[in-house]
Amino acid sequence: MLSVPRLRTRTKDSEDGATRKPKILVTTRPPHHRVDYVDQLIGDDSAGGAPTGVIHEFSLDPLRPRDADVIHLTDVEKVIGGHRLPEDERTRRAKRFIKMLRRRGIALVRTVESPAAGIERSRAEATINRAAAYLIALNPTISAEQDVVVIPHSHLRDRFLGFPREEVRPGRMLITARGTLPPPYEAAVKVMAVADLPDWTLRVAGDVPTEAKESYARSLADLGGVMSLRDDQLSDAASVTEISQAEVVLVVEPDRYDSQSVILMALSLDRPVLVADTPAMQSLADEVGPGWVQRHPGPLTAVALETALREFRANPPRHPPQLDARDPNEISARYAAVFRRAIGHH
């Protein structure tokens, strides 16, 4: 793990003198009305305190970087293509991309996450990682081919000030996603169908993928009044409503950064989460305080779910979650520090 000096939260133009601000091309869409990973790079400027030391540009095409100093690659498939492509083709694309970076003198920074269980990184992805000046991870336990800079996911407390919130509905367990519901949630719903949880109901809120709609419909019919479904792309306001009504939020594959957004959104709204017991989740549990991150060992089974919810009810949170170390502008400043160092490294 690498140590990166932190920038002050506010960097005034006058402090930069004649130094040109580095231009960072981020391979994602610009920030908009829905919370996403990209918001962490920008920080929170509601009080005029977001860092200003770098210039961000956003593009889904990293092969057209124009005058960028750094490319921040948030989705490697935008360079190497999806898993349906032959690995030789993906590796060829990776090498072509790296050659372009070297020719133009552009540094590469990449956000990485752990591969899914039992899956090794592809040759193409490993090739990209070796070319990166820095790899950024959201938790300190990621397995990577080289050292990573750990920058945790920011909290989202201030993002939802003024949003209407609902009272908690006792016994409601929520499954939700910021976009399309990932495939592992389909199995989690089936676990609920066989678990002995007379005091609990299941709420699913998120965009159900086309190929899973029949499966979710069958589960909805099988579970009768125990399960309810909101098949929709949720706005931030809708997410706040759904999360605030939940007694606990179930998150599958919690180490992935899409899942991290759901976890931090729930904790920012003072709602506990139920997750697999990974080293990263143990670290998060220690950080935020007792009762907020309830963990189950191994894969989610009916017995594991019953046990975890019983333990949660026996030991609920008694104090607000501790999230001060995840201030959005501090997190944004840490990204800016990595980008500046990448230019010097390159």
Q: C-alpha dihedral over 255, 258, 307, 301, to 10 degrees?
A: -90
d(CA 124, CA 79): 10
Query: What is the pLDDT, as a whole number, of residue 14?
Result: 37
The Cα 238–Cα 146 span in angstroms is 39
CB 131 within 8 A of CB 101: yes
| Res 15 pLDDT > 50 | no
CATH 3.40.50 fits 13-154+327-345, yes or no: yes
pLDDT digit string (tens) for 72-93?
Answer: 999 899 999 998 999 999 999 9
Mean pLDDT of 200-222: 94
pLDDT in tens, 278-291: 988 999 999 999 99
CA angle (328, 154, 3) in 5-degree steps: 90
Return the amino acid letter for 22.
P
Domain residue spans of the chain: 13-154+327-345, 158-325
Whether the predicted pLDDT of 3 surpasses 70: no
How many CA atoms, within 13 angstroms, populate the side-chain half-sphere of residue 212? 19
> Which of 118, 167, 137 shows the shortest CA–CA distance to 37?
137
Indicate whether 13 pLDDT > 60: no
Q: How far is CA 262 from CA 155, 223, 274, 331, 337, in A?
A: 11, 25, 11, 17, 26
Are 13-154+327-345 and 158-325 equal in CATH topology? yes
1 pLDDT exceeds 70?
Answer: no
Report d(CA 150, CA 4) in Å as an integer.
9
Residue-averaged pLDDT of the chain:
88
Residue range 19-77, pLDDT digits in tens: 679 999 999 888 877 888 888 899 888 777 888 889 999 998 898 888 999 999 998 99
Classified by CATH at the fold level, domain 158-325 comes out as Rossmann fold (3.40.50)
Strand partners, 296: 276
